[in-house]
Amino acid sequence: MSLVRSAEPSSATYRNPKLYSLKGSGDGAVLSTPVFGPHNHKPMYMVDTYCSESYEKYFLDSPTEELIHPANSGTSDSLENQSPETSDDTDDTVRLKLQELERALLDDNDVDEYDMFGADLSMEIDGAWSNRIQRELLHDSPKESTSSDSNLSSITSNKEVSHVSPRTPKQMLIDCAAALSEGNIEEASTTINDLRQMVSIQGDPSERIAAYMVEGLAARMASSGKYLYKALKCKEPPSSDRLAAMQILFEICPCFKFGFISANGAIIDALKGEKRVHIIDFDINQGNQYIALIQTLANQPGEAPHLRLTGIDDPESIQRPIGGLEMVGLRLEKLAEILGVSFEFQAVPSRSSMVTPSMLDCRAGEALIVNFAFQLHHMPDESVSTINQRDQLLRMVKSLNPKLVTVVEQDVNANTSPFFPRFIEAYEYYSAVFESLDATLPRESQDRMNVEKQCLARDIVNIVACEGEERIERYEVAGKWRARMMMAGFKSCPMSSNVIDMIRELIKQYSDRYTLKEEFGTLHFGWEDKSLIVSSAWR
């Protein structure tokens, strides 16, 4: 299938990471694959030197700069997650009932995700720390409270070792998160100050992720996560450079890229035998996914179907300052014209939650396909509001009677889990992402630092620092997405063996540490034993 073939990276690019450079103004500064690098259009890249500024400056010109002074601030009262002693009994009962109901409805299978004391963490924890963690688990997660205490007992036995062994940034981060979850601002403040002296955005993966996660903790303590999230979105360099960083992320971290490729593969299979097709994309972004799709249609034997694409985009999207949906449509129309594919584009500038069937102009005689690529996790669910926008949107799409619906999402529980286990989840997930970047770009690469700041840091801050409606990045694990789709009336449509085989071949071009697994019709793309991205198709 040409869709996948066109996405193959240059072997020199990945066998010698230093050959992979998108920085600079030369004509050669383009992406190595047309999937994420449009023809005749060279995206802008960073012109300032991130290496010359510290991560503290990058974050601390935001509202978090005033947070390391707990003695004269009342930030402890603003924390969303207080200790069990300060919580209201009635609120606890209601919250636990809601958690139990959610697990029953969604077949929550996340218990193993919270096994914080296994070989993966290999932490040396003193007695006070282990007791604090135990209280958090007993209070915040009914499922974890049923497990044996043997793990905690064995950890406590390491108390003497931990007193003489220096703590790693990883241990300090989790210690700080535990202190914050108890409302211990003074201890958290001290740990944050210590961490800032130890970590670097130019260091190894563990230092780089710690540099961003410590600022997420600091923002949580100062209740400034909302502002920092927006600052990372709107901060100079201009929006076009953040979009370029997103393109690079999809190229150098292939799990994201494979998610798009698998969705396109399922769509191509669904197009067979159709004369007219209508694709609705609820977060079209720059439309790069459809560059590859149009190219594939042009290379298919026989006459390609007429393709009508409806692109939905939030009016406040980062694309707005650089032309938004109009520019996306013009670029795709030009490409389709060059390749001889019958194509038309319809722009719907609206938040996904506000879209109605009448806005989509569905027509008789067209095969309808709906694409959700890294979009659904932005929709709040029943844990945020009585209006469950996430499931409401899925039910609306089901009412359109689509031939196919594709879903691509990050595979991590960052939605309903309480702060402390959510912090552990986020650390383990993004640790794998940061480690995987070591396989594609050198640590001193300016492009890599751009990607980590513009794309990854923003999500980390939101997951760690924000609660309620301010927490936008609400990822769920594959099992929960499967449950939601089935409750909305959809049935799984496994990916074809051709798509899976071709992606397996592509993985070999990157690193043998990338993995691909299929479970219950869903594809899991991961780094070693950590699943990062899940892709599925539904009817």
Residue 249, CA distances (Å) to 134, 252, 377, 406, 478 in order:
37, 5, 19, 21, 22
DSSP 8-state class, residue 512: T
- CA–CA distance, 312 with 281 (Å, rounded to integer): 6
Q: How confident is the model at residue 89 (pLDDT cuts 50, 70, 90)?
A: low
Please enumerate in sequence order all residues whose Cβ is within 8 A of that of 433, keeping only pairs 6 or more positions apart, or say none: 253, 456, 527, 532
Q: What is the mean pLDDT of residues 166-188?
A: 93
Ramachandran bin of 137, using left for φ above 0, alpha for ψ from -120 to 50, beta for the remaining angles: alpha
Side chain identity at residue 74, one-letter code = G
Give me the percent of the chain exceeding a pLDDT of 70: 64
DSSP 8-state class, residue 411: B
- CA–CA distance, 398 with 33 (Å, rounded to integer): 34
Q: What pLDDT is stored for residue 175 in this prediction?
A: 95
Q: Please tell me which residue, 118 or 1, carries the higher pLDDT value.
A: 1
The enclosing H or E element of 358 equals helix 357-360
**In 3-state terms, what secondary structure has residue 171?**
helix
Q: What pLDDT is stored for residue 523 in this prediction?
A: 96
Its pTM surpasses 0.75 = no
Q: What is the mean pLDDT of residues 4-26?
A: 35
The CA-based angle 34-528-124, given to 5 degrees, is 135
Q: What pLDDT is stored for residue 165 in this prediction?
A: 55
Q: What pLDDT is stored for residue 328 in this prediction?
A: 86
Q: Which of 147-151, 422-426, 472-476 has the lowest mean pLDDT?
A: 147-151
The average confidence (pLDDT) of the chain is 74
Q: What pLDDT is stored for residue 75 in this prediction?
A: 33
User: Maximum Cα–Cα distance for the chain, whole Å?
Assistant: 73
- CA–CA distance, 533 with 142 (Å, rounded to integer): 27
CA 60 to chain centre: 24
81 closest CA partner among 190, 184, 213? 184
- Is 60 exceeded by the pLDDT of residue 38? no
Q: How confident is the model at residue 205 (pLDDT cuts 50, 70, 90)?
A: very high
- Is 80 exceeded by the pLDDT of residue 220? yes
Q: What pLDDT is stored for residue 323 in this prediction?
A: 57
Q: What pLDDT is stored for residue 454 in this prediction?
A: 80
Q: What is the mean pLDDT of residues 451-464?
A: 90
Q: What pLDDT is stored for residue 97 in this prediction?
A: 59
Q: How many CA atoms lie within 13 A of 234 on its CB side?
A: 11
417 closest CA partner among 111, 65, 49? 111
- CA–CA distance, 251 with 311 (Å, rounded to integer): 22
Output the CA torsion 91→94→97→103 (10° steps).
Answer: -80
- Is 80 exceeded by the pLDDT of residue 453? yes
For the segment 470-498, what is each residue's pLDDT rounded down to a tens digit? Answer: 899 999 999 999 999 999 999 999 999 99
Q: How confident is the model at residue 386 (pLDDT cuts 50, 70, 90)?
A: confident
- CA–CA distance, 70 with 432 (Å, rounded to integer): 33
Output the six-digit token pair for 252. Answer: 């150098």
Full DSSP string of 80-107 = SS--GGGS-HHHHHHHHHHHHHHHHHHT
Q: What pLDDT is stored for residue 69 in this prediction?
A: 39
Q: How confident is the model at residue 324 (pLDDT cuts 50, 70, 90)?
A: confident
Q: How many CA atoms lie within 13 A of 141 on its CB side?
A: 23
